[in-house]
Every structure is written in structure tokens, then in C-alpha cells.
Structure 1
């Protein structure tokens, strides 16, 4: 594995990365974004080594994908072994044990002691699409309720579920029908204040569904237990549990989208566990595959078995190599207790962010759990005016220093921190030192 040491040998991007970026411009659609124009030659742990030999600190994990690192030994060995046997057969044509074993692991890990089933897909968006299909098939209803600030994917249906227009939806409509949006329990920006957020947001949700959709017409409510692209919004305490119970009371399927929050990221296996919520259906992806494309829907056996035979599937869903990688990743999560590690390193991260906030008024709020945390930047703490310009400038300053960070949020003013769960503590601290330097450069010491 690449040495776990931060070092820069060139300005970023270096000449080899610049050459590759020129080739990219000539060959790749400009519609595919580029957060940081450096090109990686080797990666592992908390380090990304680029083609110029620079060793960058990874605070992004490929958008929460490489939780166990990019070269986890168990993942690498299982992938190597499986690739030597066969790369594909299509599980719907001739099956294989790996697919079954991944489903068994998911059924065991998912919240609740009820009987469960799983089905495997290629991406988080595909998992969400299939969760909606399952809910509609099981209930015979069409309506699906999603929230402000939500992000569920880039396919047609998941774009309809996603709240933010740019860059995800603008110019790509019309979108799927029978999608209804309701207010999110966003404590920092709730008009009635933090203390009133859970009660008022829940009341607003109930009224909106009753008036706009009708409970009897609603197949599912879908929620990220911590919203991802929308700004790492942690719902007000009690909101998720009340939402799930309301769904049960009205025969509506509660879908927890754990694609970004799942697999130890928040200091629990799944973020739903913080309120002891057992989702009817749960979507997972990203970190499940240890870096390979894999996603899943896991849920109540009666719901998962509701669609007709052949109604779920896909050519590549549950590819044998991706399944092998997932089994290696889950083995590492269990063996190395990445739940505990995420919670422990999360406390270090929180402490450093709190220190930053004590020195920089531009930080309006720190939020998140485990190694899924964020800071929201504002130009006025009292007015909570979003400050996307300063956010972008600090992000660029960090990038110049070799710190790979991502921004997010409906207003473009949130830093999200998603380091690999296996990052070494010293390296995490070094990355936060670089972030501190970036703040000092842009905001002033």
C-alpha cells in the first residue's frame, strides 16, 4: 500500500496531471465534472498518490465509497481470486454463491430482527429506483414523498426525487410523475428555531401529505437519515422515528436511503440506528463494494417478495467480482471494528472543527456523526446568510495544499468531511492542519 505520508513535490496540478487533463478535454464529455484536476496513480488508506508523485490527503473517499481504503487487502485478495474464476454470468441466468452471501450479510446487518430479503444492483440511484418499484408493487399506490434538500440520484426517477436543480436536474426534464416534496426538519434553518423543529416539521409533513397526496395514495416516503448532497443535514431528534411510525400507521413504506450514510460511516452500521428505526426498505451502495460498483435494497421479506418474478434484476446487478469485493469490505469492517473507529475519529474531527469555529465567525454550524461531518459557512452568523463564495475559495486553497475536500449543500456553502474510515489519526490531524491553513489564507488569521 502507498506510504501513509503527506508530501508535495510539485504545485498542483503537476505537469503529468496537466497533460492528462488536456487529453481528458479532448476525449471526455465536458459535462462530466472535475473537482480537482489531478490524476491518481496509486491510493490506499488516507493517501491519494498522483501521477506526479504528490501524496494528497483524502477527505472525500471517492464520495464515501472507499471507507476501507482503496487497496484493502481483503478486498484485493477476494477480487483477485474471483477474477481468476469468472468475471460474469448474470445472476438471473446462472447463479453463484457470492450474490447469496452478500444478501445474507445485508439481511443480518440491517436494523431489526424481522425476516428480510435483499436484491443487488449497480448504483445507489438504481437501488432507489427499485425500492420505489417494490413499494408501489406492494401497496398498489403510486405517490412517493421526498424532502427538501434531498439527493437520491441522477436517473429520471431519482432526479425527480432529488431537490436541487443545478447541476443535477437543470435541462433534463420532464421528470417522473407522482413525486411530492415536503419540508425537511433542518434544525439550523428551521424558521421556528431548533427547539421547535422536530414537532413543527413533522406537523408540516403530515399536513402536506394529507392535502397534496392523500395517505391512501401514498406508496412510500423516502428519507436520507442524514442528508448527503443537501448539506449533511441531521434531522431534528425524534423526527425520523415519528416519520417511520406514521408510515407504519398508514400502511406506507418507509424507505431509508443509506447509500452515503451506511457501512460504519456515522459511527453505527447505519444512521437509522441512532433513533432505533427499522426501515421497511433500506437502500445501500457506495462503501458496500469496497470501491467496486454495487448497491442493494434490503427490507421486509413480504415487501421484497411482492413484485412478480423477473420484476427486479439487471444484467450486471450483483456482479461476482463486485460481490467478492463487498464480502472483503464487510469482513474488514467487522474485523477492524470500523464502527468504533468511525465514532472515535469522529470525536477528534468534531473537536478540531469546534476549534476552527471558535476562531472563524464564517462557520455557522458544525453537524454530522462519526466520519460524516460538515461545517456550514455563512457571511453573518445571526442572519445565517449562506456564503458560497468563501466556501469555494477555502476549498480551492485546501486543494492547492493537497487536501482533497468536497463541498455540498443546497446553497453551495457546506464543507463535507468523508475521510476513509481507516485513515491514520496523525494523517487526519495533518489534513485538518491544512484546512486550518486554508481558512487562514482566505478568511485571515
Structure 2
């Protein structure tokens, strides 16, 4: 047991013993005072430690965050059984052993059933408070852990996306300069035209590389310009076909994806006038496809693999839909998902964090409201019972507020932990899953 809990139980025991000694004890002697302290400490420590050990054991075996419903059911059953046994034992020690006001036969004959029932209810209220406090402590730990994890995920995703985008600028420039270098030797006039076209294309690269998505229409216009640049070098050795549906033009793809894939087509395949390379760009079943006839060239040096890997990783950060690759003896095809909604990695993470934080704040307020209600119930009802038994023991009226308020507490708890929130969270998950599939 923690020192803090031990000190708390000591203060509770002392306060309880003083209350019962001055209010209910007729002969205020030192012996009676010590007996009252002994009995108070027995009830406090047996019930407190017993329920505390049960709570600690269940926290290890069935944490609230991992199995809330299962934990709630097991907690109810365990505290009912444990408090029933502990109360009967404490009352037996009190009335039979310490006060000697009854024999063992009298105690178990039913004479003390009312006192046992009353004490069990008090013990259950205290136990409910302990379990509620344990739930709140674990909720705080889980919330802090989730906040830290979400921050790490957000920073990691943001850094990863920035790293992927920063690959595009030097990658394109390096490959373009390689092409220009080849053209200078092969055809100086074409090299001049290539240089002029490259400046326009590079401007697009600089404008688009910082965006998460661009429209299919913008990407196609850029791809056509880039294809003209390639035609400048390869002339009739390469042929391009564009066949994209009009309804797909306003949808979105990853920027510079076509340029990177066109580069791959040229890099990995040979193209001659006798055996031209045919590259077709078309839309098919919510995907933008780039297909070429397979004319694999021997690689002098190993490819860096930046192009296709970059596209796959950027798509993985934006959507759950995958980039598909098809390869046969005759052709090679890459299918890029066309997205209907334009997500933003950084803003989405920020928005999701803000919304999650707002939901968490609202959730914590609801939970605090419930536990405030429960704690008030645990404090007020026992005092009403004591007042009722002192002032009019023949007229039992505390049942009515205890039952009415108890039903209200149960209904409040159901709305917070069971019916309302489970349904709402399930619907939120369904909506998010539908959005991520797009």
C-alpha cells in the first residue's frame, strides 16, 4: 500500500471513530474510545485495503482503456462478492468478538441482517468511489499517452512528407541536365529548344512540389509539355497517347507523378525508330494509368529507385488506396488512385488533433459530471440514512431518495459510458473510414 493511501485511511478511521464516539457512545470512557478507534480502523483498513487490492489487480489484468465493458462487469461482480464477505467478517468481529453483544448463533440467525445490509450498501458506495477514481487516473494516463503519440505521429508524417517532396526538386534537375548533356552532343539546336522548354517545366516543378495534390487536368498539361520535351530528344522513337475521361480532370493526383513515371519509362526501356516506345496515359476505374510496351534496356548502373518509391510513399500518407503495378512480357503499367477529395497532410493532422482535443475536453467534462454526481450520491445518501435512523428509526424514508437518485446515477453512467458514446464513436469511425477509402 502506498504511504499516501495509508495516511488517508488513518485520517478517515480517526474521524469516523470520533464521530461515533461522541454521537452514539453513551459511556464516554477511555476504554470505549479505544474500542471505537479499533473498530473504525478495522472497518476502514479491511474494506479500504480489500477494495484497493481488487482495484489494483483488475487494473493489471483488465485495464479500463483496453476492455472497458468487460472491466465494468468484472468490477461489479467482484466488489459485490468481496464487500459481502468483508462486511460480514467485520460485523462479526465487531458485535461478537469486540463488543460481545451477540453470540455466533445469534449473529448468523438473521438478527443482524439489517445492519449487515446497511453496512454493505455503505461499503459498495465507497468501493464505487474507489473504482471511479481508478478509472479517472487511468483515463488521465491514457489521454496523456494518446496526446504524446499523436504529436509524434503528426511530426513524423509531416517530416516524412517534406522529405519526399524535397526529393523532387534535385531529382528532376539532375535528370533534366543529363538529358541536356546528351542533346548537346547529339543535336545542339534541339538542345537550345530543350533548354527553353526546361525552364517552363522547371517553373511548374517549383510551383507544384510543395502541394500534396493537384488536379488531373493540371498534371496532364504538365505531362504533355514534358512529353514535347522528350519528343525533342527522341523524335519518332517515342510516341505518347492521352486518353483521360473528362469527368476525371477535376479530380486529384499526386503532383509530378506522371513526370516521374514518364522518366521511368524512358530510363528502363530502349527506344529507336525501328522499335518505338509507346506510352499511353489513360483513366480506368478511378485510376490514372501509365502503360508502355516493354523493351527493357540493360542497366549500366543500378537505378536509384526514387521515382516510383516516392509516388507510393506520398500516396500512402494521403490515402489508404494503393498504387498498383502490373507487369507482363509485353507491357508495364502503373495505376495511380484518382482522389475525389483533396486532403492536406499537415492541416488534416492539425484539424484531427484539434477535433480530437475538443472531443476529449467534452468527454472529460461529461465523465467529471458523472463522477461528481456519483461522489455526491456516496456522500449525501449515507448522511440521510444516519439522520433517518437517529431521528425516526420506525419510519424508514431514506429508501426513496436513495432509489430515485440511484436510478438517476445509473442512467447518467449509461449515457456517458455505454449507449450514447459507443454509438457516437462507432459512427465517427465509419465516417472516417469512408473518407479514407476515397
Q: TM-score, normalised by structure 2?
A: 0.21
Q: Which protein shows a greater Rg?
A: 2
Q: Which has the higher helix share?
A: 2
Q: Which has the higher strand share?
A: 1
- Bigger RCO of structures 1 and 2 (CA < 8 A, at least 6 apart): 1
